[in-house]
Amino acid sequence: MFDFQTKFKRQIEILGICLSDDARRPIRISDFADFFGVEELTIKRDLQDLRSYGIDIHSSKKEGICLSSELAKDKLVDIILDYTSLNHNDYALDKSTSLLVEKMGHNSLSILVNIQLCIDRQEIAMIDYNKIGSEIEHNREIEPLLIFQSDGSWRLLAGNDGKMKQYLIDKIISIRSTGKNFSKDNYDVSDLFKYSWKTWLGQEKYNVKLWLSSFWAERVKPRMLVAEQKITRQDDGSIIFECTVNSLNEIAGWIVSRGEGVKVLQPDELKEMVINLAKGTLRNYIERKSII
């Protein structure tokens, strides 16, 4: 990372920590200097730069470093996109960030920053997590590994009880570092999503073969949908698409949503799954017609 990127990343992290409801206050310039391992003058310049960006952040003897006014939602979205691009420059941008800010407000940035700090420092985190409905699990210890975006949501990949799990970031109510360290070497993240059609984590492997019409062939050929995919062109312009996935449910949903022109050749289990999904969808409209 270039020096200017490190500087910009630190400034956003200063902002995120100041926005955090779990931060110990008052936060002094000396606290940030110790935390980031820089001179106090550097932190003062960071605050000055943040003010030049239109962020009303100041330091006082009584209250320490804090924001005098609330950040606008559009500015929060821009800051989060900047921050995530500094840490993860291969993510496609969509409405997930706007939805995150809409739901969580300033907590969206503070939680992302605190997660990333734990990732960078390999520190075990404690989270309060909204599991289902209003059910909240308090004080769950996790080992944060990776922030990623999928299916219109920002997600956290983390270790818990020796297993890798996904957490929806918009369901994390609070996060704080325990100060205890863990080793990322205990986890093999690099190949984790290798056989995921979307985001499913699993050790299963299914060999899949599909026939795609010329219409869908033109849309699929330029894309890498999954690792080690194989495409064989047919004389009529259609293709045979072969791949290995770890979940038939995910790819079955994708096939049904494409409609005509995508046919399962193997395995039979996937054929049956697609047929049942399509029949279920059709029944919705048949039943509705009889009611109307």
Helix axis angle, 107-121 to 3-19, nearest 10°: 120
Q: Would you say residue 232 has pLDDT above 90?
A: yes
Cα–Cα nearest to 7, from 108, 106, 82: 82
Mean pLDDT of 183-191: 81
Confidence band (pLDDT; 50, 70, 90) for 291?
Answer: very low
Helix axis angle, 29-36 to 3-19, nearest 10°: 130
Q: What is the mean pLDDT of the chain?
A: 89
Least trusted range by pLDDT, from 91-100, 113-122, 277-286: 91-100
Confidence band (pLDDT; 50, 70, 90) for 90?
Answer: very low
* More confident of the two residues 287 and 15: 15
- Please state, in angstroms and rounded to a whole number, the distance separating the CA atoms of residues 98 and 75: 11
| pLDDT tens digits, 127-145 | 999 987 778 999 999 999 9
Mean pLDDT of 56-67: 94
Mean pLDDT of 215-237: 88
Mean pLDDT of 232-243: 95
Cα–Cα nearest to 77, from 59, 98, 106, 105: 98
Report long-range pairs for 97-102 (Cβ below 8 Å, ≥24 apart): 97/154, 99/152, 99/153, 99/170, 100/153, 100/154, 100/169, 100/170, 101/73, 101/76, 101/77, 102/73
How far CA 28 is from CA of 13, 51, 98, in Å, comes to: 15, 17, 31
**What pTM was computed for the model?**
0.66
Q: Would you say residue 215 has pLDDT above 90?
A: yes
Q: Would you say residue 289 has pLDDT above 70?
A: no
Cα–Cα nearest to 194, from 219, 224, 216, 223: 224
DSSP secondary structure string, the chain? --HHHHHHHHHHHHHHHHH-TTS-SSBPHHHHHHHHT--HHHHHHHHHHHHHTT--EEEETTTEEEESSPPPHHHHHHHHHHHHHHH-TTPPP-THHHHHHHHHTTHHHHHHHHHHHHHHHTEEEEEEEEEETTEEEEEEEEEEEEEEEETTEEEEEEEETTEEEEEEGGGEEEEEEEEEE--GGG---TTTTTT-SSS---S--EEEEEEE-HHHHHHHTT---STT-EEEE-TTS-EEEEEEES-HHHHHHHHHHH-TTEEEEE-HHHHHHHHHHHHHHHHHHHHHHHH-
- Please state, in angstroms and rounded to a whole number, the distance separating the CA atoms of residues 103 and 20: 16
Whether the CB-CB separation of 212 and 160 falls below 8 Å is answered with no
Q: Would you say residue 63 has pLDDT above 90?
A: yes
**pLDDT computed for residue 212 by the predictor:** 96
